[in-house]
Amino acid sequence: MSGCSATNASKHCYTNGLASLPVARCGVFFNVKELEIKKVVFETAFPPGEIDFSDVGLSQATALEASGSAELLANTLGEIRIRGRLNVRMRADCDRCLEPAEFPVDSDFDLFYRPASQVRGEEEEVEIDAGETEIAFYEGDGIELKDVLREFVVLAMPMQRTCRPDCHGICPVCGQNRNLAQCGCELKPADDRWAALKKLQVKGL
């Protein structure tokens, strides 16, 4: 990658007229100084591998397409609003059977970022009230679009990552993937709560 500094990355990335979607080879960086002059509009796609999801057990199955805008909010001390829409298929191991599974994320986003420097110094007094839980902070000159999208995608993933709602998972006795074959292992009811529930039901009759 040559001569592509973070601050002019956005311009560089828009001028790829050959592809139907411009590919952000060097990322998109929203510089707060640029945003003071004008709102920045983006439409871009990050191929798999461009954004690192490995620490959360995820990878991209498709390019992450994103479009939207970033603007500096008037009458604030540098608060940036980034909104738009993103579309990607993420890949993760199924929680139950451990086979690779895909999870589409196709969603609007509307996020607010405040400069971290603004809170430093008065840190002791800052209390986050219930209405402000959506607000995040940025360090330095601005925000990397990659970081914004990464965080949003991770949060948008379902709590239960299963390959399908009725995944039978792995047999705890022999390790067989029970979606593929029945192993016939005898499963003892290990959980005492079920036993207690059964007693209750007997009493009820």
Query: Which is nearer to Zn ion, 45 or 101 (by Cβ)?
Result: 101
User: Which residue matches tokens 């209750």?
Assistant: 200
**How crowded is residue 162: how many other Cβ atoms within 10 Å of its Cβ?**
16
Among 97, 143, 148, 153, binds Zn ion (CB under 5 A): 97
What is the CA 131 to chain-centroid distance, rounded? 21
Query: Which is nearer to Zn ion, 157 or 171 (by Cβ)?
Result: 171
- Rounded Cα distance between 175 and 173, Å, is 6
Are 139 and 118 in contact by the 8 Å Cβ rule? The answer is: no
Q: How far is the CB of 157 from Zn ion (least distance, A)?
A: 15
- Rounded Cα distance between 109 and 68, Å, is 9
Among 126, 180, 185, 196, binds Zn ion (CB under 5 A): 185
- Rounded Cα distance between 97 and 19, Å, is 39
Site for Zn ion in 149-178 (CB under 5 A): 163, 167, 171, 173-174, 176
What residues contact 85, with CB distance under 8 A and at least 6 apart? 66, 67, 68, 106, 107, 108, 109
What's phi and psi for 54, nearest 5 deg? Answer: -65, -30
- Rounded Cα distance between 54 and 51, Å, is 9
Q: How far is the CB of 179 from Zn ion (least distance, A)?
A: 6
Q: How far is the CB of 165 from Zn ion (least distance, A)?
A: 10
Among 13, 94, 148, 153, binds Zn ion (CB under 5 A): 94
- Rounded Cα distance between 118 and 80, Å, is 13
Among 10, 31, 82, 96, binds Zn ion (CB under 5 A): 96
Structure tokens at 167: 């995944």
45 binds Zn ion (CB under 5 A): no
Query: Which is nearer to Zn ion, 64 or 167 (by Cβ)?
Result: 167
Q: How far is the CB of 174 from Zn ion (least distance, A)?
A: 3
Query: Which is nearer to Zn ion, 121 or 184 (by Cβ)?
Result: 184
Binding mask 52-91 for Zn ion (x = CB under 5 A): ----------------------------------------
Residues that bind Zn ion (CB under 5 A): 94, 96-97, 163, 167, 171, 173-174, 176, 183, 185
